[in-house]
Amino acid sequence: IELSKTHESFFFIADLHAITTVKDASALKENTLATAAAWLAFGLNTDNNILYRQSDIPQVTELMWYLNCITPYPMLANAHSFKDKSDKLSDVNAGLFTYPVLMAADIILYNANIVPVGKDQLQHLEITRDIAKSFNHLFGETFVIPEAKTQDTHMIIPGIDGQKMSKSYKNYINILGDEKVLKKQIMNIVTDSKNLEEPKDPESCHIFKLYELIANDPEQIKSLKNKYQNGGFGYGHAKNELLELVLEKYKSPRLKFEELIQNPKQIERELINGSQKAAQVANSVIKKVKRNIGLV
């Protein structure tokens, strides 16, 4: 959202990617609306940027097919999205295997110059760049070659179990969700077995890492660090401080999110409007692609 204040940005709800794992129609629809509501609740300006549903732009799957036809098998076999699950191939569907190609289509269909990514997605962006370069080499200059933009700090957010936070791992904290559920999630953060009186290492504690990520005030972070190091401060206290911080910092987005969820038609209007804008760019690029391939 900060980048979108200085760059025209495309934000999409990745519902096509989601169906590689989500097989429940009602859950897919609910998650789509909730994701859009989250962007809007945090202040995304849809007058200057484009928010849309991936599946509303069929050109992206058309482009994916063209890209599939020039993407070598070994490239996809080495992708993290496949390798992480390749020990149980019966659970791997073709959509999951070609996930990086759809991701490439998502990016280069809109002439993206910059793609903000987490550390875990850098490989997939390199695949996107390789595919786009290969296409340009084979068929002439067609696509912009995108650049990755990463944050130097907090490139991977720890989940409540210490692994990378992910819905698929069920180790996430829903900062916009019901307060009772939010409290339960925070109270389930895994810690070591040090007792109340012992000094503790904040740098190895998942609670502190999350607090540090969220807090804006360096004095707040310093104060919590001192409490850890001085002893007489338990992990239960730290969890309560994290809960209070989440509720205070995200008070306004939480209220706005709940308001939007109660008015799904407003969310749908935003997505339809965004899809119409995105389609204009997608149509222009797909025409160029088809012309360069020799289909028209």
Q: Which residues are tagged catalytic?
A: 85, 164, 167
CA angle 145, 156, 233 (to 5 degrees): 160
> How many other C-beta atoms are found inside a 10 Å radius of the C-beta of residue 54?
20
Show the beta-strand stretches assigned E in 30-152: 50-53, 114-116, 147-149
> How many other C-beta atoms are found inside a 10 Å radius of the C-beta of residue 63?
25
18: Cβ contacts below 8 Å, ≥ 6 apart: 28, 31, 32
- In 3D space, the residue among 250, 275, 278, 273 whose CA is nearest the CA of residue 41 turns out to be 250
Structure tokens at 34: 């909730």
Q: What is the rounded distance in angstroms from the CA atom of residue 5 to the CA atom of residue 187? A: 35
Chain centre to alpha carbon of residue 52: 15
Structure tokens at 77: 């076999």
Q: What is the rounded distance in angstroms from the CA atom of residue 57 to the CA atom of residue 54? A: 6
